[in-house]
Structures are given as structure tokens and as C-alpha cells.
């Protein structure tokens, strides 16, 4: 047991939450220059969304300034951010993608 106290014969056990790995929100940020269809394409290609879902999230980012596009483990989130940033840079669009611990 992991109890504490002065009597060494009394063992108590504190229930703790089972350990889950932390999750990370991947977010897309709005800008004035990246074409809407390019953003939709990114959401389909890297986040496995269908066209309707991708269009909806793109519009949310456009109207609200940002949106969470998915929640992943650290490693997967990092990979998604890198893929989006690299693809946008290669096409010379200023699109920004970030991650944040949930």
C-alpha cells in the first residue's frame, strides 16, 4: 500500500486515476490569403475528413479565427502540424497550424 501515517501496521491505498497519455488539440488559424479550397484540401488529405466535414471546419476557421481540427497523441499531433506547415510553405500560403495540450 501507499498509505501514510504514524501506525506502520495500517496500510491504506489511495485510488488514483488510471494513467492516460495526454492529448493534444491540433488547430488551424485563419488568415486573409490562403484559398478556401486549399484549406479544404488539407483537411481531407491530412485529417481524413470528407469534403462536407472539411468545408464546414474551414468555414468555422474563416469565421471564428481558429478551430480544433482533431485531438491526438503528442507524436501524431506533431506529425500533423509538420505536414500541414510543410505543405502550406511549399505552396507559398501563410496558413498556420498549431497544437496545444488539451
Length of the chain in terms of residues written: 102
61 binds ligand TYC (CB under 6 A): yes
Beta bridge partners of 33: none
Task: Residue 70: name the closest of 34, 87, 95, 45 by CA.
Answer: 45
3-state secondary structure (DSSP) of residue 94: coil
Q: Which residue has the cell 478551430?
A: 67
Tell me if 49 contacts ligand TYC by CB under 6 A.
Answer: no
36 binding ligand TYC? (CB under 6 A): yes
**Options 39, 43, 69, 84; binder of ligand TYC; rule CB under 6 A:** 39
CB nearer to ligand TYC: give 11 or 91: 91
Between 21 and 27, whose beta carbon lies closer to ligand TYC? 27
Do 95 and 84 meet the contact criterion of CB atoms below 8 Å apart? yes
Distance from the Cα of residue 36 to its chain's centroid = 20
The answer to whether 30 contacts ligand TYC (rule: CB under 6 A) is yes
Q: Does 71 bind ligand TYC (CB under 6 A)?
A: no
Chain residues binding ligand TYC by CB under 6 A are 28-32, 34-36, 39, 58, 61-62, 95
Amino acid at each position: 500500500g501507499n498509505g501514510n501515517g504514524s501506525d506502520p501496521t495500517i496500510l491504506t491505498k489511495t485510488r488514483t486515476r488510471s494513467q492516460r497519455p495526454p492529448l493534444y488539440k491540433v488547430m488551424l488559424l485563419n488568415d486573409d490569403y490562403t484559398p478556401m479550397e486549399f484549406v479544404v484540401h488539407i483537411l481531407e488529405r491530412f485529417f481524413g475528413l470528407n469534403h462536407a466535414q472539411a468545408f464546414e471546419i474551414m468555414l468555422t476557421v474563416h469565421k471564428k479565427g481558429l478551430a480544433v481540427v482533431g485531438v491526438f497523441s503528442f507524436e501524431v499531433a506533431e506529425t500533423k502540424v509538420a505536414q500541414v506547415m510543410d505543405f502550406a510553405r511549399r505552396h507559398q500560403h501563410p496558413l498556420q497550424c498549431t497544437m496545444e495540450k488539451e
